[in-house]
Structures are given as C-alpha cells and as structure tokens.
C-alpha cells in the first residue's frame, strides 16, 4: 500500500488544473474554432434558402420573400448566438462542477485518490512500481496532479471551464448572418421571381460548397468531396422547400407561383 501523498489537503481549495501548453495544441484550438463558422454559416444558408424558396414559390411576392428572408436572418442569428452562449455556459458549469468535486475528493481522501491514479497508470501499461513512482512525483505538482485526475477519471479537458463564452457566440451569430445573406441577394435583382428562386438556390449551393471545401482542407480531408457533400444536403433542402411551396398552398386555397414566374 503506497504511503499517503505529501500534499497539504487545505491547498486543494485553491488549486486549479494546469495543462502543459504547446504550439501544436494552440494550432489545434484554432483549427477547432472552424466549427462555429462552418455550423453557423451552413445553417444560415440552409435555413434561409429553405424559407425563401418555399415562400417564393408559394406567394409569388418579391417583397414578401425579402422581408421573410431578413426576418429569418435576424431571428436566426440571435437564436444561434444565444443558443451557443447558453450551451457553452452550461458546458463550462458542468466541467467546473466536476473539477470542484474532484478537488474536494483529493482534499478529503488523498490516499484513495492516490491509489486510484496509480490504478489508471497501471491500466496504461506501467508496472505497479512505475505507476506509484509517477503518481508520487505528481503529488509534488498539485496543478498537474489535478489535471491528470480530471483527464483519466472524467475524460474531459478542464480548460473548457476557463473559456470565454462570448467569442463563440458572436462567431456563431455572425457566421449565420453572413450565410443567410447569400440566398437573399438574388431577390434584390430585377429578374423574374422564378429566376430569383433558382438563382438563390445556386448561390446557396456555391456558398455551401465553399464552406465544405474550407472545412475539408482544415480537417485534412479532400476539399472537393467535403464541399460536394455539404452542397448535396443543400440540394435536398432546396428540392423539398420547392415542392412544399408548390404543393402546400393549394391545400389552403392558394395558387402558388408557376414555374414560368
């Protein structure tokens, strides 16, 4: 049985997990931030294109389509931003609560936590002597010790509890708004409304392809295939929205716009 680790229990109340930092980790963090851009812009394009296509075919009114698109942009961007902020805040609170629980356990039961960490290192392939030597060394560095316990016991990154929730929220809202603009643009041009509907779909598909290509390149995948994958989903949304705008209005006594405008 290993000896009680030489750590002042009272110190755990103030210990925060410290994570070794590297240029590679910072680069990965920047690459992972593409999630907000891709998700926000893609959702903005798909949602707004679906709304505009359905309303454009159903109503035949350009002004109605433009107003609907702008309202979808504003409401969607605000909803995405608030949702991202609240979701990130909840995630940070859950992680921080887990850190607090683990800190309390290491303060109240240092012997059991020591043995638990030794067991984790034995699972990783270290001998009992090697594992005890490593954990004994960890007890001399409480911040790293706490980080190791969080990683091995909970499988989470304690850094999440320290991240700001504002930048991801603004990034999500901004990228959604930018994506929403793409399918709206053709309706401001003086072309027949039916042409604007299809132009909006083409604009949206090009935007989706570009987003997919960027995401694919940053993720180490084939940008062409990734772009085509996301554009394919856009095509499905466009077709379903078109059919909905064409066939649902007659159910309520309205005549949708003809294919010829």
**Which tens digits make up the pLDDT trace of 94-127?**
888 888 888 888 888 889 999 999 999 999 999 9
232 versus 16: the higher-pLDDT residue is: 232
Of 62-66, 155-159, 177-181, 223-227, where does mean pLDDT reach its minimum? 155-159
**Look-up: residue for tokens 């980080």?**
147
8 Å CB contact between 33 and 164: no
Q: Tell whether the model's pLDDT for residue 218 goes beyond 80.
A: no
Whether 95 maps to a domain, the answer reads: yes
Three-class secondary structure of residue 219 per DSSP: coil
Domain-located, residue 207 = yes
For residue 259, tell me if it sits in a domain: no
pLDDT at 44: 93
Residue 20 lies in a domain: no
Question: What pLDDT is recorded for position 10?
Answer: 45
Residues 146, 149, 152, 153: is their CA dihedral positive or negative? negative
Q: Is residue 131 pLDDT above 80, yes or no?
A: yes
How confident is the model at residue 73, as a pLDDT?
Answer: 95
Phi, psi of 104, deg, nearest 5 = -65, -40
Label residue 247 by pLDDT band (50, 70, 90).
Answer: confident
Over residues 152-196, the pLDDT tens digits come to 888 887 777 777 768 888 889 999 999 999 999 999 987 888 889
- The answer to whether residue 248 sits within a structural domain is yes
How many Å apart are CA 157 and CA 165, to the nearest integer? 16
| Residue 233 pLDDT greater than 80, yes or no | yes
Lowest-pLDDT choice from 76-80, 82-86, 254-258? 254-258
Q: Which domain holds residue 73?
A: 9-13+34-252
Domain count, the chain: 1
User: Is 25 a member of any domain?
Assistant: no
Q: Is the dihedral of CA 76, 60, 199, 248 positive or negative?
A: positive
Neighbours of 90 (CB within 10 A): 11
| 44 within domain boundaries | yes
- 54 vs 258 pLDDT, higher one: 54
What CA–CA distance (Å, rounded) separates 7 from 140? 7
pLDDT score recorded for residue 186: 93
Q: How many angstroms separate the Cα of 253 from the Cα of each of 47, 54, 107, 261?
A: 26, 16, 71, 19
DSSP code, position 152: I
Residue 118 lies in a domain: yes
Q: What is the pLDDT of residue 156?
A: 81
């Amino acid at each position: 049985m290993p000896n009680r680790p030489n750590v002042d229990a009272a110190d755990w109340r103030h210990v925060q997990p410290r994570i070794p930092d590297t240029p590679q980790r910072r680069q990965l963090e920047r690459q992972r931030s593409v999630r907000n851009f891709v998700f926000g812009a893609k959702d903005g394009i798909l949602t707004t294109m679906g709304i505009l296509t359905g309303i454009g075919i159903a109503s035949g009114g350009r002004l109605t389509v433009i107003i609907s698109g702008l309202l979808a942009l504003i409401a969607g961007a605000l909803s995405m931003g608030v949702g991202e902020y609240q979701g990130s805040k909840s995630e940070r609170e859950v992680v921080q609560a887990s850190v607090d629980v683990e800190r309390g356990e290491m303060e109240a039961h240092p012997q059991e936590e020591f043995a638990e960490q030794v067991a984790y290192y034995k699972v990783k392939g270290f001998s009992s002597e090697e594992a005890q030597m490593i954990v004994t060394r960890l007890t001399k560095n409480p911040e790293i010790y706490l980080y190791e316990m969080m990683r091995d016991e909970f499988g989470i990154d304690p850094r999440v509890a320290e991240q700001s929730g504002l930048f991801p929220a603004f990034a999500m809202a901004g990228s959604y708004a930018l994506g929403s603009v793409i399918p709206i643009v053709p309706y401001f041009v003086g072309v027949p409304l039916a042409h604007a509907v299809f132009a909006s779909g083409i604009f949206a598909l090009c935007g989706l392809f570009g987003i997919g290509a960027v995401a694919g390149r940053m993720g180490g995948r084939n940008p062409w295939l990734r772009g085509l994958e996301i554009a394919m989903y856009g095509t499905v949304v466009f077709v379903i929205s078109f059919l909905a705008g064409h066939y649902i209005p007659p159910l309520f006594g309205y005549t949708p716009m003809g294919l010829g405008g």
